[in-house]
């Protein structure tokens, strides 16, 4: 009876923590078509991921995030298009550009990890407000060649940083599974 309860509890914990962990950390590769899917080791390195307001941001492409586009990037690795609330965490376009510019003045770009069409980001376009769907706080300038929706707007993606509770719950689930497995082994 106890063993069956522990097994069910472990399965439940793994199901809950596994799906939460996948949704917040590594993303789901099951919903991607084979040509666009990439293994986790192909994920962007930490030096192109910018931490801001409890989230991780990447500059994903010099093209719009959806058609019509000059080569829409594929959201993956748990990254997706920012919501208006997420865009609102940036005080201004200048803050965004400063965060995504390295000490040499070059853009901190992750476009090579989100598509095969481009491996650069256009700092001039971003500085002028040519940023896809970044309406809050004047980040996007709609008057700059229809800057918020044009095919060649710069695309940024964001993902949530997993809460420590997610890791703790996952470790508890794994520990419970190990305990059940050990008890079963000792019985046989």
pLDDT, tens digit (0-9, with 9 covering 90-100), for 63-103 = 999 988 999 999 999 999 999 999 999 999 999 999 999 99
Is this model's pTM higher than 0.85 or not? no
- Asked if 175 contacts 74 with a C-beta cutoff of 8 angstroms, the reply is no
Which of the pair, 5 or 59, is modelled with greater confidence? 59
- How far is residue 137's CA from residue 176's CA, in Å, rounded to a whole number? 47
Per-residue pLDDT at 57 exceeds 90: yes
Nearest-10 crossing angle of helices 164-187, 2-21 = 150
Mean pLDDT of 43-47: 93
Q: What pLDDT, on the 0 to 100 scale, is given for residue 166?
A: 57
- Range in 11-25, 35-49, 130-144, 146-160 the model is least confident about: 11-25
Q: What pLDDT, on the 0 to 100 scale, is given for residue 16?
A: 45
Q: What pLDDT, on the 0 to 100 scale, is given for residue 168?
A: 61
Q: What pLDDT, on the 0 to 100 scale, is given for residue 13?
A: 44
For 181, list phi and psi in degrees, rounded to 5: -65, -40
3-class state of residue 185 by DSSP: helix
Mean pLDDT of 42-56: 94
- How far is residue 36's CA from residue 47's CA, in Å, rounded to a whole number? 23
Confidence of residue 21 (pLDDT cuts 50, 70, 90): very low
Q: How many CB atoms lie within 10 A of CB 10?
A: 20
Per-residue pLDDT at 37 exceeds 50: no
Mean pLDDT of 143-156: 90
Per-residue pLDDT at 17 exceeds 70: no
Domain boundaries, the chain: 1-27+161-188, 55-160
Per-residue pLDDT at 7 exceeds 70: no
């Amino acid at each position: 009876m106890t063993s069956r309860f522990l097994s069910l509890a472990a399965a439940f914990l793994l199901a809950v923590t596994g799906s939460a962990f996948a949704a917040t950390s590594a993303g789901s590769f099951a919903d991607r078509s084979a040509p666009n899917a990439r293994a986790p080791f192909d994920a962007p390195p930490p030096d192109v991921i910018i931490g801001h307001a409890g989230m991780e941001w990447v500059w994903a492409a010099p093209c719009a995030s959806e058609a019509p586009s000059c080569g829409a990037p594929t959201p993956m690795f748990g990254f997706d298009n920012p919501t208006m609330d997420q865009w609102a965490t940036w005080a201004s376009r200048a803050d965004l550009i400063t965060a995504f510019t390295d000490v040499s003045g070059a853009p901190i770009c992750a476009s090579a990890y989100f598509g095969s069409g481009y491996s650069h980001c256009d700092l001039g376009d971003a500085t002028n407000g040519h940023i896809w769907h970044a309406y809050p706080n004047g980040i996007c300038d709609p008057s700059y060649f229809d800057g918020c929706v044009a095919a060649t707007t710069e695309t940024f993606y964001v993902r949530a940083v997993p809460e420590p509770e997610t890791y703790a719950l996952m470790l508890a689930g794994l520990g419970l599974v190990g305990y059940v497995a050990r008890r079963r082994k000792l019985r046989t």
